[in-house]
Amino acid sequence: MLLVSSVMGALVDLNGKGRYVHWGFIQISVANLVVIALMAIVFIGAIIVPYRRHGDR
Amino acid sequence: MSVDTGSRSDPSAGLPEDARQWTAKLRNSATGKLPPGRLLPDRQPAYVASWIYVFGVLTVSALLLVIATGCVLALKGPAWWHVSSAGLFVNSLHLWSVEAFFFFMVIHLWGKFFMAAWRGRRRLTWVTGVVAFLVSVGAAFTGYLSQQNFDSQWISTQAKDGINATGAGAFFNVLNFGQMLMWHIVLLPMVVALLAVVHVLLVRTRGVVPPFAAPPGRQDGMARTGGSEPSVEGDRA
Amino acid sequence: MSEPRGSHGRVRRRRFNPDRDVAEWHGRYVPFDLVKEFVIALVAVAILVTVLAVVFSSPDDHPVTVRSWSNGDPAGFAQTAITELDGTSGSATYGPPYNTNGTAQSIGFFSPAKWLGVHVPIDSAQDFVIGPLQTLPDRAVLAAVSLYNSSSAAQQAKWTAAYEKAVAKATFGNGRLRIPAGDYGPVPTMMNALVSMARSGALDGALLSSRQFYGSDYTKPLLFIADGTFLSNIAQSQHLAGDQWGMMNETGNFPGQAWLWLYTMWYQVPPMKTSSNADLQVWAIMMLLTLGLALVPFIPGLRSIPRWVGLYKLIWRRHYRQLAATDSSATGAGP
């Protein structure tokens, strides 16, 4: 039996049964999917969001 | 050779007769490539105007946090985080710094790829960046092996097959905790840090890569002097 | 035409290639506080990481020990132990770098593990069974080990083969392993003693001990544990197995190593999926791709992708707009 040490101080307990997405031959954890989706969003955002400097019109 | 220190007003004057010294040569080479104004410039080309440009410094910041939190873990040894809530918290900081490090580094890589940032004699900047990424993967891997919990047991017993197949298992034994820990806290961080420093200094030396030329038919105000060092001429309309 | 200077300052004439060369900037520079940007970035990332650590913490699943394994699944432990003794376990038949009882992976003639040979010697029967048993102060067990060692290889094989068949149907009760009756020689005495030693925790210590007092090398206990199914069953339930893209994953719902996606992907596709040389094949593919990534600036076609895709037009849109504005004011054309 697997013993999981108590997670002290975590507001959101990510231990426990992992959630996975099965898509064709691809299997990916929801956690990893979230990270990758965030990366794509941040990347696109970094390119699209205007960059303003001091003194710009 | 006479030693008459009274006639030399400033020991670091760089007198011509000392120019053949290794010290003088090193100093002149370094300051020639990276004078203070290029090492720490206070101006950037006007085209550096996108949020994509901040991911390099975000990556470096995350790396510094990885190292700092790693140092705190080192203070109390590898078993500390299993028996102390403070240790577990520092371990969490270390883990999330690593996640942030890879998050920012990969976005930085995507940005630099789509900007073709290797153009104009900046190929070594690209190469050092990719190698730093690869060594970082190795550093993270040895970190996972050093956890001394179920995760490191599984990762080591699985990874051994891949590494053994390449022959590297003959001298890189992922089941040897002592060896993996030392690679993780000594050897690999040194290499990552060195590569990061070289990478950043290369960016400072060559400058941030200019944009692709505007479509044909337009005068784009950029002199075609490919291969020369970028000149810092100040504002020019 | 550009005139790049070679390493000795000679002028080399070559055509301007937009994917390799760039016209250096002689335009406008704007104020930019590098150090301030760095400090802001450092503080921002520190805050982000602290928030993540407070909210999510980090995983720390307890390790499997030989003790927890043998208590959790004594019959399974014995089934693995007999394969260590008779030399049919994964470790026993692994080949280099542990021993020469197995074939190293190869791609054609290329077999680096074979060339480098044995460097972490493991004799599974001696290291995992006989050696530990010989540390016990039990005369009956020592006699059984002595009888086993002094018997011929053929006799040993006869006993272990019979025991291996029987232990597949073993049950465990009252602290004892029960198997169908048969002629197993000294093997049941040895195996029962090993199971007891494992359940008490003494085997963990015995496997870790070495010639020197301080040990930090867990090769032996890890190989022994990995030869069984106890560890892999837990891994399977945590979605960490190789055929589950496990290399990318972490226990629970924590994000793992998403950057390993391409490495693990190759294990899911034929022929690597079913090949006994899969590890070497995947490594070779990844070496090539890695080299490709590192050498993008030197590879025609690959280095043209950014210009073809055109995402740079979005990144530098302000720069191109300013150029266009400068153009139209210079030529007198209206906005």
Residue B220 has pLDDT above 50, yes or no: no
Is the ipTM beyond the 0.90 threshold? yes
C-alpha distance from C19 to closest chain B C-alpha (Å): 6
Nearest Cα residue in chain C from B98: C49
C-alpha distance from A50 to closest chain B C-alpha (Å): 7
Q: Residue C258: which of A7, A8, A32 has the nearest Cβ?
A: A32
Residue A55 has pLDDT above 90, yes or no: no
- Position B128 scores a pLDDT of 98
State whether B52 and A47 contact (CB < 8 Å): yes
Residue C317 has pLDDT above 60, yes or no: yes
Q: Strands of C21-132 (E only): list them.
A: 29-31
- In terms of Cβ atoms closer than 10 Å to its own Cβ (0-12, 13-18, 19+), residue B178 is middle
Nearest Cα residue in chain B from C5: B227
| A23-27, B5-9, C42-46, C110-114: least confidently modelled range | B5-9
Number of alpha carbons in the 13 Å side-chain half-sphere of residue C146: 8
Convert the pLDDT of each residue in C2-35 to its tens digit: 444 555 555 566 899 999 999 989 999 999 999 9
- Which of B80, B157, B172, B201 should one mutate to test binding to chain C, selecting the residue with the greatest count of C CBs within 10 A? B157
Subunits adjacent to chain C (3 or more Cβ pairs under 8 Å): A, B
- Position B8 scores a pLDDT of 55
Which chain B residues contact residue A47 at CB under 8 A?
Answer: 50-52, 111
Each domain of chain C, given as residue ranges in start order, spans 66-235, 238-294
Residues 6+ apart with CB under 8 A from B12: none
Convert the pLDDT of each residue in B3-50 to its tens digit: 555 555 676 678 888 889 999 999 999 999 999 999 999 999 999 999
For B34, B114, B143, C53, C320, the CA distances from B48, given in Å and listed in that order, are: 20, 15, 36, 33, 12
pLDDT band at C326 (very low <50, low <70, confident <90, very high): confident
Residue B230 has pLDDT above 70, yes or no: no
CA dist C74 and C69 (Å) reads: 7
Spell out which chain B residues touch chain A, with contact meaning CB-CB distance below 8 angstroms.
49-55, 82, 85, 88-89, 99, 103, 106-107, 110-111, 150
- Position B7 scores a pLDDT of 54
Determine the CATH number of domain B116-207: 1.20.810.10
Range of the domain at A36: 20-50
- Position B57 scores a pLDDT of 98
Instruction: Indicate the helix (H) or strand (E) that contains A27.
Output: strand A26-29
CA dist C17 and C31 (Å) reads: 31
| B224-233, C143-152, C192-201: least confidently modelled range | B224-233
**A8 occurs within a structural domain:** no
Residue C332 has pLDDT above 70, yes or no: no
pLDDT band at A52 (very low <50, low <70, confident <90, very high): confident
φ and ψ at C173, to 5 degrees?
-155, 145
3-state secondary structure of B227: coil
CA dist A36 and C327 (Å) reads: 41
Q: In this structure, is the dihedral angle defined by the CA atoms of residues C260, B160, C236 and C63, taken in order, positive or negative? A: negative
| B160-169, B225-234, C37-46, C271-280: least confidently modelled range | B225-234
pLDDT band at A7 (very low <50, low <70, confident <90, very high): very low
Is-contact B114 C309, C-beta < 8 A?
Answer: yes
Which chain C residues contact residue B161 at CB under 8 A?
Answer: 279
Neighbouring-strand partners of residue C176: C173
Q: What 8-state DSSP symbol labels residue C104?
A: P
B-contacting residues in C 19-78 (Cβ below 8 Å): 19-35, 37-38, 41-42, 44-46, 48-50, 52-54, 56-64
- Position C104 scores a pLDDT of 95
**A35 occurs within a structural domain:** yes
Residue C159 has pLDDT above 70, yes or no: yes
Residue B190 has pLDDT above 90, yes or no: yes
C-alpha distance from A55 to closest chain C C-alpha (Å): 10
3-state secondary structure of A29: strand
| B13-22, B126-135, B218-227, C132-141: least confidently modelled range | B218-227
Convert the pLDDT of each residue in C163-195 to its tens digit: 999 999 999 998 889 999 999 999 999 999 999
pLDDT band at C214 (very low <50, low <70, confident <90, very high): confident
Residue C248 has pLDDT above 90, yes or no: yes
In chain B, % of residues over pLDDT 70 = 86
Average pLDDT over residues C113-125: 96
